[in-house]
Structure 1
């Protein structure tokens, strides 16, 4: 459900079509799938850990969940900022390109000070950058699904 939700978000955010309804449905599926997956993995860890190892299993689960979220956010933000910067440099022409790029990346309030053509280019650039970040998340979800197929159940604490 998580992977399907992320893919729905990526498809309906403008890559294939614009649909706010399916975008929201994708966000709901993404959130529901992520929440169910996190709780299911935590419950299965606790169920398979012995009483002495439950605290370690819970702490490990929260550690890797937090680490994954921070890493995923950092990767997506890096891609978004890089694609945004490159697209703005490609599309904007003139003497103030670096100033416009810097000011737009600092605050979207600067859009009001731009002429309509530049404003359209900035909006397109943000859309393009967000689509790139969404597709990276969809590919990550696909890789997570593939790697989860190789998980084998083993009892903890047994040698």
Structure 2
């Protein structure tokens, strides 16, 4: 590869990862929205480092569900694993509908690698997958008041 091709590949990879990170978080939000669960999207979270520091560390967005005692744990689990749907277009390769992006010589393979990297669930996603019941229980506990009622 020539230096220009390497630079182009790096830019394409960075753009694919940037778009993939946003799509990853929006995939979480789509499930929560469809299920009627309240959530908040924090863009560039990280008050200690600012927008530039958060962006450089890969923290472009974070979805924070506001679970209640009535929130089904399966909704949180589905939301946590929804970024796997970003890999769905690659199923078309297996079906022979589109060409394999990894078999090309151009920068398309770098875009495919960046996008596929964002389709992987993060460690936080796996934490939600395994401990969704605890999150719902904690939300139920926050809703209770153990203060004695007036006399």
With the shorter chain as reference, the TM-score category is 0.3 to 0.5
Q: Which has the higher helix share?
A: 1
Name the TM-score, length of structure 2 as normaliser: 0.41
Q: Which has the higher strand share?
A: 2
